[in-house]
Amino acid sequence: MSSDWNSDEIFKALANGTRRRLLDAMKDAPQTTGSLCEIFVEMDRCTVMQHLKVLESAGLVIVVREGRERWNHLNALPIQQIHDRWISQYASHAMSVLGALQSEFGDIR
């Protein structure tokens, strides 16, 4: 993992449901800030921009400016790093514990 990788900033960005929804909106293709504002009509443009700034600071969004448009690209690498560092290690341990419990006590649900 690179030394500039900041898991606290990534976790903070992902802790907010609105920011996760913004990332979901960029999952299939980059979105302009204007198109994100059209998707998230419950927020004003300034609020969308504030959320995008947090995501950009965490490295989860890469911004490419083309003329007057600001294209927001999902950067899934930090999410993969979170998975590799935290989730995969604990998931495999949890599965081995559950397997041992199931062997000892039978079908557990």
- pLDDT attached to residue 41: 97
CATH number for the domain that contains residue 12: 1.10.10.10
Q: Which domain holds residue 47?
A: 7-105
Q: Does some domain include residue 15?
A: yes
Q: Does some domain include residue 1?
A: no
Going by C-alpha positions, the residue among 62, 68, 81 that lies closest to residue 11 is 81
Computed over every residue of the chain, the mean pLDDT equals 89
- C-alpha to C-alpha distance for 22 and 42, rounded to whole angstroms: 13
If one counts the domains in the chain, the total is 1
Q: Does some domain include residue 89?
A: yes
Cβ atoms < 10 Å from Cβ of 13: 23
- pLDDT attached to residue 105: 81
Coarse DSSP helix, strand, coil percentages of the chain, rounded to the nearest 5 percent: 60, 15, 25
Ranges of the chain with pLDDT below 50: 1-4
Going by C-alpha positions, the residue among 24, 3, 7, 6 that lies closest to residue 74 is 24
- pLDDT attached to residue 83: 85
Q: Does some domain include residue 2?
A: no
Percent of the chain with pLDDT strictly greater than 90: 67
Q: Does some domain include residue 16?
A: yes
